[in-house]
Amino acid sequence: MKLDDYLTSHSDAEPEYLAKINRATHLRMINPRMMSGHFQGRVLSMFSQLIEPVRALEIGTFTGYSALCIAEGLTDNGILYTIECDDELEDFIQQNISGSEHKNKIKLLIGDALNIISELNETFDLVFIDADKMEYFAYYETVLPKVRSGGYILVDNTLWDEKVLKPVDPKDKDTIAIMKFNRFIAADSRIEKVLLPIRDGLTLIRKR
Ligand SMILES: C[S@@+](CC[C@H](N)C(=O)[O-])C[C@H]1O[C@@H](n2cnc3c(N)ncnc32)[C@H](O)[C@@H]1O
């Protein structure tokens, strides 16, 4: 049995409405691997339930899968803002969100994350960064002042298919950006951090 299969079969099952989105994403998208999926979805849900955010933010919605997992931990009056720059995904995302009991707590914002975050007048308890790898540093610096002291940031893909461990091709801009981001985060004294080997690497950050 492969490790991934063992992990999923010994964790909570994927809720049926998420399994439907998972299947629809595989049918309709050319790059379904971008979606968090069953195991990471349960991890995001568990973190969110531990943190119980009143205000949460996701950068990179894709088909809405991870947004719905994070929404599972929101307080009764909680809101999750999720930002997606690809307006062609809007109808599909709204359709996915509308099938969930959390639909009234999720606000989809279409546009470039860096512009939108600057305009959001909120303080966040939890942020999930999962969009353009070249912009990770910019997302982080833009969002950190809006995270409350003691609030959390989760950053996806920080192992980047383990390419961060190997000699890097100078043309591979995404890997270089993730390596620089990881080095910066490791040395940043404003935060506590731990890089978890979950799926493609998930860095958990706590603002001091
Ligand atoms: C890896 S996918 C997100 C997957 C999703 N969070 C999940 O786990 O199911 C990244 C998404 O970020 C979006 N994106 C890329 N750059 C962005 C930007 N500057 N602003 C907003 N969204 C962006 C892409 O269009 C893509 O849908």
Whose structure tokens read 């512009």?
115
Distance 84 CA to ligand 1 centre (A): 6
Residues 178/158, Cβ–Cβ less than 8 Å: yes
Residue 135, ligand 1, Cβ within 6 A:
yes
pLDDT at 81: 98
Rounded CA Rg of the chain? 16
Determine contact, residues 159/197, Cβ cutoff 8 Å: yes
Tens of pLDDT, residue by residue over 74-112, are: 999 999 999 999 999 999 999 999 989 999 999 999 999
Distance CA 177, CA 179 (A): 5
pLDDT at position 1: 75
Domains in the chain (CATH in brackets) are 3-207 (3.40.50.150)
What digits encode the pLDDT tens for the residues 166-205? 999 999 999 999 999 999 999 999 999 999 999 999 999 9
Each residue's pLDDT tens digit, 22-63 = 999 999 999 999 999 999 999 999 999 999 999 999 999 999
Pocket lining: 64 vs ligand 1, CB cutoff 6 Å: no
